[in-house]
Structure 1
């Protein structure tokens, strides 16, 4: 269970088609809300199932307070659009649309005579921050088409500001490396154990995680380990 302010998310890993623990967790959440005088808005509660098996299986609906929870193919979690296929087209389309709207403001500011430095600061604060939000979680598995659409926004902003702007690929690489270093220093981080140092003779090197799919190979943790090892 993940809680952020008034946003609560229950995540369950179902093995051998046994949904007992997952459904019990949902039931306990409903009971806890009732006992603590909290109103759980079932109409805004959604269920998303990620299942990559070749043979699709029908999943019985979840009920909260006698109401069926709606199943969805995607939902927005802390600003990131997650889909049941774990692809990022929905998220990148949303990000590009928002960024393009803010390019209009950047053009207006240039028309009003702002300096290139001020235009760049505006870009970094209002456009790059949108393009790179939670970038370590999703950029690694973006399609080539998605990346081109994102970088097209950067190139447009670069023409407007008249200065060199960092490519999103470079921003992604930098943030992956920085985030990995923070996790390694924090022994209490849930993912600290995924960064396993090799023998003392190979100081600064970390054990690579075996990846059976491209999705895992391109995920943050494997990317971060490759970056850490390449810096030594």
Structure 2
């Protein structure tokens, strides 16, 4: 009953806030701003309402874990926000972890990839130890799939399409090192190794995860609105293959390779 009662207690927090995401006791609010005339007053008003809600419901916010991130890719300098929760000014950070995913204020995924590579590389020590103890290849293969590979795949549909080549190579090298550990002297190359161990390249797994996520959106009425509406019938052409309206020409490559334009492209090409 504890978790259920807790959810009942906090369910009405931030209900009248349009840009908010809540997961258990974690909450995120944001506002879009005009880079020429940034106005953070609406966000501060939201925080003030949240403080009032906590006082009315006898809930305390951990101000040490409450931070502000200023996402800005503009070439011109934009003043960062100065926000507070009651009497506590909030710290402005350049990166933070949200549900296991590290976001930075430039949305380039460098820190997230570095964190994944470090964690997965640390877990490779388990494979090395088991190898010295005489563990069979098949068992090492299952250990890799169970403990190491999920680190490289966690929530990959949200970020994998936005990776640049060097970031993909860093993740691929982790699996390459795992193959060398598992096969030992029998290792003769990466491609033969993943064939022997019945593995796919990490980049291929990421693409399949994005495709699977897109298909699940198509069949889920609650989240179908994340995708653009069905494309209207063409006036002059007799046939067309697009399922959804093609994504408008993006002004930045960052948006072009982000998850939803990638999903639309995948669905239309199926």
Q: Structure 1-normalised TM-score?
A: 0.91
2:68 to 47, 69, 84: 47
Match of 1:184 in 2: 218
Spell out the pairing of 1:46-195 with structure 2 (5 A cutoff).
Answer: 46-162=67-183, 163-189=197-223, 191-194=225-228
8 Å Cα contact 1:158/1:164 also seen in 2: no
Match of 1:215 among 254, 259, 270: 254
Query: Larger radius of gyration, structure 1 or 2?
Result: 2
Partner Cα separation in structure 1 for residue 31 and residue 220 of structure 2: 26
Instruction: Tell me what 1:12 maps to.
Output: 31
User: Structure 1: 5+ residue runs without aligned partners?
Assistant: none
- 2: CA distance, partners of 1:114 / 1:98: 22
Structure 1, 125-134 or 12-21: larger mean CA deviation: 12-21
Q: CA deviation at 1:196?
A: 2.9
Aligned mates of 1:132, 1:4 — CA distance in 2: 21
> 1 CA distance for matches of 2:62 and 2:40?
23
Aligned to 1:199: 233
Q: How far apart are 1:195 and its partner, in Å? A: 5.4
Give the TM-score normalised by the residue count of structure 2: 0.79
Provide the rounded CA distance (Å) in 2 between the counterparts of 1:12 and 1:55.
19
Alpha-carbon deviation of 1:192? 3.5
CA RMSD for the aligned pairs? 1.9
Q: Compute the displacement of 1:78 (Å).
A: 0.6
Equivalent pair of 2:243/2:268 in contact (CA under 8 Å): yes
Cα deviation digits, residues 127-181 of structure 1 (max 9, x gap): 1100111112222222322221111001111222332421111111101111011
Mark the CA change 1:84 to 1:138 in structure 2 (over 3 Å): closer, same or farther: same
